[in-house]
Amino acid sequence: MIPTIQASPAETYDIELEHSLLQANAKIADENRSVLDRHGITAIDFMGAIGSGKTTLITCLVERLKSKLGVAVFNGDATTAEDAEQIHKQGVPIVQIATVNGCHLDANLITKAIKQIDLQKISLILIENIGNLICPAEFPLGSKARVVVVSVTEGPWMVKKHPHMFLGASIVVINKIDLAQAMGVNPGQLTLDVHKLKPDIKVIHTSCKSGQGIDEVATSLLAL
Ligand code: MG
Ligand code: ZN
């Protein structure tokens, strides 16, 4: 038996503060959603760990979708602009959301980002959340659905270790599938782990390098 200590909530005040913070966020998320709905815009929140390939996946999706409909991207990034610059090359409207070391996007930041784009010209917004598999799950943004991106390079336990994140997802992308053998990770087992949590989540295996699965993700987003 391995000795374990568990973090305990320090003070009641903290719990109350966190509770009202989450409530306030949820209310703003609902407002974002109704603004987007009124304009016929679908927003999708992409979540996943640092290095799971969110930016490259979004870039590939934008490349395929931009000729079909008006796409915009909100790129959450703690400190740098490299990701936003990569997507910007696709020539679609993009808003970078610098969280200044904040570890998740929140609904208020999305309210501000929405004001930066011409809503008449857009019908799909892809939101790249901060690379983090814990707290983004607690902060709805007003998106219609969530995509969780997990890469085989993160090892075999990512799904089992972060059930909360996956439970909130409509689509799970198992990315960098071309590296599965080199990593000794079985993507089929990751798929089983997802379906054990929630049988109706759509799981798509992708490689942005070979293009495998990207069309299926694009089609699935349009069907949401
Ligand atoms: Mg990124
Ligand atoms: Zn956070």
Name the closest ligand to CA 85. 1
Alpha carbon of 204 to ligand 1 centroid (Å)? 19
| Cβ-contact 123, 113 below 8 angstroms | no
Model pLDDT, residue 221: 97
81 neighbors 102 (Cβ within 8 angstroms): no
pLDDT for 90 beyond 70: yes
With bands split at pLDDT 50, 70 and 90, how would you rate the model's confidence at 17?
confident
Q: What is the DSSP letter of 120?
A: G
Architecture of domain 4-222: 3-Layer(aba) Sandwich (3.40)
Ligand nearest to the CA of 131: 1
Query: How far does the centroid of ligand 1 lie from the alpha carbon of residue 14, in Å?
Result: 31
Q: pLDDT of 150-163, one tens digit each?
A: 999 999 999 999 99
pLDDT tens digits, 178-206: 999 999 999 999 999 999 999 999 999 99
State the distance from the centre of ligand 1 to the C-alpha of 207, rounded, in angstroms.
16
| CB within 8 Å of 69: residues ≥ 6 apart | 123, 124, 222
**pLDDT given at position 77:** 87
Cα distance between residue 120 and residue 111, in whole Å: 16
Least distant ligand from the CA of 57 = 1
pLDDT tops 80 at residue 10 = no
pLDDT of residue 151: 97
The residues spanned by each domain of the chain are 4-222
pTM (two decimals): 0.93
Cα of 20 to ligand 1 centre, how many Å? Answer: 30
Å from CA of 53 to ligand 1 middle = 7
Residue 40 confidence (pLDDT) above 60: yes
Q: Is residue 85 pLDDT above 70, yes or no? A: yes
Task: Judge contact between 26 and 203, C-beta under 8 A.
Answer: no
